[in-house]
Structure 1
Amino acid sequence: MDENDDIEPEKPSGKKKIILLLLHVIFHLVFISYFIATSLVYFQYDRMSSECIEPVSENATETTPDLMPEANPPPENRYRRQVDVTTAADAEKKPFEPNTLCSIDWCHGYGFFSILFVIFYVFWIYYWLFKPLVGKKLYDETIEPAVDKWITFSRGFDFRKSAGLLAPLFCVLVGFICSKHRRFIQWRIVIHGILGQLVLGIICIRFEFGKEIFMCIGDKMSTFLLFANHGARFVYGDRICDDYVFAFAILAMIFFSSVAVSCLYYLGIMQFFLGVIGWLLEATVGTTVCESINAVGTVLLGMSESPLLIKPYIPLLTVSELHSICVSGYSNVAGTVLGAYIAFGVPPGFLYTASVMAAPASLAFSKLFYPETEQSLTRSDNIVLIESPSSSILDAIISGAASALTIVLGIVSNIIAFLSLFAFLNAVTEWIFELLGFNNITLVYLLTFFFVPLVFAMGVPTHDCQRISQLVAEKTFINEFTAYKNLGKMIQEDQIDHRSAGIATFALCGFSNPASLGILIASLSAMAPDRRTDILHVALRGFVVGSFVSFTSASFAGILIQEHQLQKLNAKMLDFQYLNMDIGPLFH
């Protein structure tokens, strides 16, 4: 036996306990006092004041009937700036914005703070009161037996009994045929993941409150990540950041994310999050802790930032778990680039819905295409919560920033290499066909025909399959920004119907493209250099599987989206086209 095993961990002294208890009490007094103060201010606020009601301009003239806008103006006038009758002084004023205290908003201001306050004390009561007094007995006698019974029950299902729930069937069949180890497929994970995708789609598409909840969470995470712009603008300047130079404006967020995660590991918060969320997902879906955490993280972060949540464990992952990490990254979009999608006219609710639906589906399809055959070291019952090597919070900040530098350099070099190589192959293909007398036959054009069966399986009408498959090919082999731009043109020219456009919106919402392939390989290799061979082994397969996840989301969305939502989507796309906003070259 090791001599260190007999050494008990040093217990805090009585003086230190008193200091910690005193700080604990002071914190709660200040926090509760602040909540009471904000509540008094909110409920006593005068909602009839000028800060809540927009004042009527004295210089504004009344609108005459002749100046009233047409109910249905023609397209050439509908999207142009209308001439009003306000004075020049009024025109220079900013739009009126009521004070945040004028009404309650659960995503901002007092409403959002109230939710944080309740959530904090729910967890505090659970950790300090419920868990020590009741939790252990309740878990041993009730929760654990119930979970065991559910796992036994759910494992009794097989593919044949649940075939009616596995739409779209085409993608699942292809996954089964191309599976790395068919005998080891765990159908429980596949069924639960796709069912979770369908349920989340119903919640986010058919119920407005569900969409608003995930939009609020996503907005908060995007706001948090965008604080990296302050440092980026100071170092690189406003011009580079405003011009959307990828290497400077976007990759700066990786530095900020790495520092934040490093601090969370030092404080022990990340270890707690891994234990709780990982156990919950493993008990319901059946996947291990790290791959589950990464799948959840990709909903809010990006394919480069999300693996930072599990960075210390990446060297310990099995090949199947590395494959799951890749699939989750390819099948989702980062909250930091949603503004670019929205600029193309895509409704934010649809974007967040596609991200949320992709999380459970990425786990399902990753385990279908590459089942687990090894003994995982990151299950909830055997994972070792790794402590931070940092000696202080300052050390955690410095080490987090330093480790992010390797990731950023790898991403930049791989993006240049992959995009350059694909452009060369595209040009060679075009040159070969030009010698045969065929013009404009590129590699993307040839691959369009490969996607026709997949697009048909997504529910796209037959007459639109060729055009939608072209968009999917552009998204897969160029990038999704180019595809969204062309989708808007097709809607403007009335080349596709509403349902085809709605399905395409979801099918294009993902990071499965050559640049992302290089980004993910570079970032994971920088985090775990010894696993580079395994990462390269699963990266390309994960690239294909990530596209399949987007296809299944599009299939479910085509069933669930209602006609008025499709009309709203097309109207937003038309807004973008008529305003002549061309930001596509920024992302090429």
Structure 2
Amino acid sequence: MSEYTSTENIIKENVENLQIEDGRILENKQRKKSSRYWINLALKLITIGLIWAHFIWATYYFIDKTSDTLEATTCTGYGFWMILFIFIHFGIMYKLALKPYVMPKFRKYVWNPTVQLLKKIKYGAIIFYVLVLIAIIAFLVVDTDGDRHRLISLCGLVVYVIIGFVLSSNKRKIQWHTVTWGLILQFTLGLLMIRWETGRNVFNCVGDKVDTFLKYALNGSAFVYGNLLVNQESVFAFNALAAIYFFSFIINILFYYGIMQNVVAGMGKFIQWVMGTSICESVNSATTVFLGMSEAPLMLKPYLKDMTESEIHSIMTAGFAMVSGTVLAAYISFGASPAHLITASVMSAPAALCYSKLVCPETEEIVATEEKIEAVQMEFDSVLDAASKGTQDASEIVIAIISSLIAFIAFIYFINGILGWLGMLVGFTDESEIWSVELILGKIFIPITYIMGVQWDECEKVGQLIGIKTMVNEFVAFQKMGSMNLTPKSKVIATYSICGFANPGSVGIMLSTLGTLMPTRKEVLSKLVMSSFVAGCITCFMTACVAGLLIGDGEDV
């Protein structure tokens, strides 16, 4: 009995000691959190103070020492700094006052009652969409007066929507609200960015700034690999892929300080509100405009493992349908218009979501909601730990990209070698007639290019560009386009139709990148990749249709 009592006392004593130790550990963690809170607050106040001091100084210098105007400096000088200053303080005001106090009351007393009222109106949504359709048709009737050939592009849009419906994995689950608003947004962006010069200039400025930011990675890459390989020869592995290291490094730091969580939530709200898509896929679609398929998913890294198949399909479709800011300079060097390159990517953002939700509708419960995204905290010990882990993740992605590109592109050239040999045996030896995957697809794509609005006598040329882009990559396609004699409108339509990453090498990149970021979902990625590849291709074609619809044959483009 005494031994039993003694053992029981020892156990109780150990339990009490463990509880005391747990209490000390908890207390230490709370102290660390408290000290970290005050340190972060002090850093934020110091940063805001420095921003104000510099802005006042810059304002004084701009007014007193220069003769520049705000309009002339909106993208390069004081005007641009003023815009950033306003955005920074709007973000602070939104977080501290608008979001916690104003927005809940607005939703409760204004927005929700308005939505409920509209829902009570019988066939209210149908009436609204019919009115929008009538407005668009009226605009096109007036705008295409004397140039009805442009309306063929409208037929092309209808054909692609029908194809998406036929390919849909679950036709009964299609959310037509999302599809319709995606088309409306795409057309509206086309009006603002193709027809309105100011809109083009704004997006050109944003694209230039993002491109400049990512190019800072070239300085680090040139230090490691040498200026010859990085800047003079522009070797892909050392030039274009360097931005992934830098971007992953920066993203992890922003996650550590909680900045990226707010950016992710904020950017997705508008698209989510308009189209009814989830916040993660909405944010990804917006950020892919400038960051590309490899970098954009890094912003959603903590949430990828919980995404539904439809959300994953949307992310992949957006990656295939757009290009990143890092490669625009290469396309421009081949003669492509910077304004149209930016416009093509921006217009494809809502279109990619629209078409993805048509082909792969949502059938599961969405886990990564806005509330959970804002609550996620990255598990980093320090800002240096966050930065180092970002570069480690980037290393895995870069290695995967390089290996996949070598394998996929080599395979295409292997197929072309066989086709060329078979053609040679039956007399096709001329350089322009050598059998290849691109040549065959150029013939196949003739009707596709025609319904985009290309003149019939140039359809095969544009179709060949699409074939090259689809089976090799868009770099080769833009290079080929620079040597082609195309009319201005056909060149613009071709630019829009090939301005996307949908090619075999990108399939490997997509699987490698997302497979690294979500290793437990590789089977899902393999199942969805070809469907999203096709959706990405058709998204580019739809954007080209909108361009063909809005640009006249004799207009300056």
After superposition, the Cα gap between the structure-2 partners of 1:317 and 1:41, relative to the gap in structure 1 and judged at 3 Å, is same
- SS of 2:445 mapped into structure 1: helix
Matches within 5 A, 1:47-196: 47=67, 104-146=72-114, 156-157=125-126, 168-196=157-185
Amino acid at match of 2:111: I
**Matched residues in 2 for 1:391 and 1:565: separation?**
58
Kindly provide the CA deviation profile for residues 448-467 of structure 1, in whole angstroms up to 9, marking residues without a partner as x: 22212211111112222222
Kindly provide the CA deviation profile for residues 304-351 of structure 1, in whole angstroms up to 9, marking residues without a partner as x: 001111011111111111111111011111111111111122221111
Aligned-pair CA distance for 1:488: 2.7
8 Å CA contact 1:147–1:283 kept in 2: the answer is: no
Q: Is 1:39 the equivalent of 2:59?
A: yes
Amino acid at match of 1:451: F
**Matched residues in 2 for 1:116 and 1:384: separation?**
23
Kindly provide the CA deviation profile for residues 413-462 of structure 1, in whole angstroms up to 9, marking residues without a partner as x: 11111111111112112223333444412222222222122111111122
- SS of 1:301 mapped into structure 2: helix
Amino acid at match of 2:234: Y
After superposition, the Cα gap between the structure-2 partners of 1:102 and 1:539, relative to the gap in structure 1 and judged at 3 Å, is closer
8 Å CA contact 1:221–1:300 kept in 2: the answer is: yes
**Cα RMSD for the two superposed structures:** 3.0
8 Å CA contact 1:418–1:515 kept in 2: the answer is: yes
Q: Is 1:317 the equivalent of 2:307?
A: yes
**Matched residues in 1 for 2:450 and 2:275: separation?**
29
After superposition, the Cα gap between the structure-2 partners of 1:237 and 1:501, relative to the gap in structure 1 and judged at 3 Å, is same
- SS of 1:250 mapped into structure 2: coil
- SS of 1:432 mapped into structure 2: helix
Aligned-pair CA distance for 1:387: 1.0
After superposition, the Cα gap between the structure-2 partners of 1:272 and 1:190, relative to the gap in structure 1 and judged at 3 Å, is same
- SS of 1:512 mapped into structure 2: coil
Equivalent residue in structure 1 for 2:190, among 196, 201, 222 = 201
8 Å CA contact 2:336–2:482 kept in 1: the answer is: no
**Matched residues in 2 for 1:280 and 1:427: separation?**
49
8 Å CA contact 1:447–1:473 kept in 2: the answer is: yes
Amino acid at match of 1:123: G
**Matched residues in 1 for 2:338 and 2:214: separation?**
18
**Matched residues in 2 for 1:450 and 1:550: separation?**
17
After superposition, the Cα gap between the structure-2 partners of 1:502 and 1:280, relative to the gap in structure 1 and judged at 3 Å, is closer
Listed as ranges, the gaps of 5+ residues in structure 2 are 1-18, 137-153
* 2:480 aligned residue: 486
8 Å CA contact 2:261–2:373 kept in 1: the answer is: no
**Matched residues in 1 for 2:335 and 2:495: separation?**
10
After superposition, the Cα gap between the structure-2 partners of 1:131 and 1:424, relative to the gap in structure 1 and judged at 3 Å, is closer
Q: Is 1:331 the equivalent of 2:321?
A: yes
8 Å CA contact 1:155–1:188 kept in 2: the answer is: no
Amino acid at match of 2:468: E
8 Å CA contact 2:265–2:374 kept in 1: the answer is: no
8 Å CA contact 1:45–1:102 kept in 2: the answer is: no
**Matched residues in 2 for 1:515 and 1:219: separation?**
26
Equivalent residue in structure 2 for 1:356, among 346, 363, 369 = 346
Equivalent residue in structure 1 for 2:510, among 514, 517, 520 = 520
Matches within 5 A, 1:403-414: 403-414=393-404
Equivalent residue in structure 2 for 1:221, among 206, 210, 213 = 210
Aligned length: 507
**Matched residues in 1 for 2:291 and 2:92: separation?**
27
After superposition, the Cα gap between the structure-2 partners of 1:438 and 1:257, relative to the gap in structure 1 and judged at 3 Å, is same
8 Å CA contact 2:261–2:374 kept in 1: the answer is: no
Task: Report the TM-score when normalising by structure 2.
Answer: 0.84
* 2:447 aligned residue: 453
**Matched residues in 2 for 1:330 and 1:155: separation?**
36
* 1:53 aligned residue: none
Aligned-pair CA distance for 1:142: 1.8
After superposition, the Cα gap between the structure-2 partners of 1:31 and 1:448, relative to the gap in structure 1 and judged at 3 Å, is closer
8 Å CA contact 1:263–1:396 kept in 2: the answer is: yes
8 Å CA contact 1:214–1:352 kept in 2: the answer is: yes
After superposition, the Cα gap between the structure-2 partners of 1:17 and 1:304, relative to the gap in structure 1 and judged at 3 Å, is closer
- SS of 1:249 mapped into structure 2: coil
Select the structure that is richer in helix.
Answer: 2
Aligned-pair CA distance for 1:403: 1.0
**Matched residues in 2 for 1:411 and 1:500: separation?**
33
Amino acid at match of 1:128: L
8 Å CA contact 2:70–2:79 kept in 1: the answer is: no
Kindly provide the CA deviation profile for residues 124-171 of structure 1, in whole angstroms up to 9, marking residues without a partner as x: 223323444434322322234445667898994499968887761111
8 Å CA contact 2:437–2:467 kept in 1: the answer is: no
**Matched residues in 1 for 2:415 and 2:105: separation?**
64
8 Å CA contact 1:299–1:359 kept in 2: the answer is: yes
Amino acid at match of 1:519: I
Q: Is 1:233 the equivalent of 2:253?
A: no
After superposition, the Cα gap between the structure-2 partners of 1:116 and 1:533, relative to the gap in structure 1 and judged at 3 Å, is same
Q: Is 1:477 the equivalent of 2:471?
A: yes
Listed as ranges, the gaps of 5+ residues in structure 1 are 48-99, 570-588
Amino acid at match of 2:255: Y
**Matched residues in 1 for 2:352 and 2:412: separation?**
26
* 1:373 aligned residue: 363
Matches within 5 A, 1:178-577: 178-242=167-231, 243-380=233-370, 385-439=375-429, 440-491=434-485, 496-562=486-552, 566=556
Amino acid at match of 2:455: P
After superposition, the Cα gap between the structure-2 partners of 1:152 and 1:446, relative to the gap in structure 1 and judged at 3 Å, is farther
Range 157-166 or range 290-299, more displaced = 157-166
Aligned-pair CA distance for 1:498: 3.0
After superposition, the Cα gap between the structure-2 partners of 1:152 and 1:323, relative to the gap in structure 1 and judged at 3 Å, is farther
After superposition, the Cα gap between the structure-2 partners of 1:108 and 1:564, relative to the gap in structure 1 and judged at 3 Å, is farther
Amino acid at match of 2:407: A
Range 459-468 or range 427-436, more displaced = 427-436
After superposition, the Cα gap between the structure-2 partners of 1:341 and 1:148, relative to the gap in structure 1 and judged at 3 Å, is farther
After superposition, the Cα gap between the structure-2 partners of 1:235 and 1:148, relative to the gap in structure 1 and judged at 3 Å, is farther
* 1:578 aligned residue: none
* 2:12 aligned residue: none
Range 100-109 or range 206-215, more displaced = 100-109
Amino acid at match of 2:75: C
**Matched residues in 2 for 1:469 and 1:15: separation?**
62
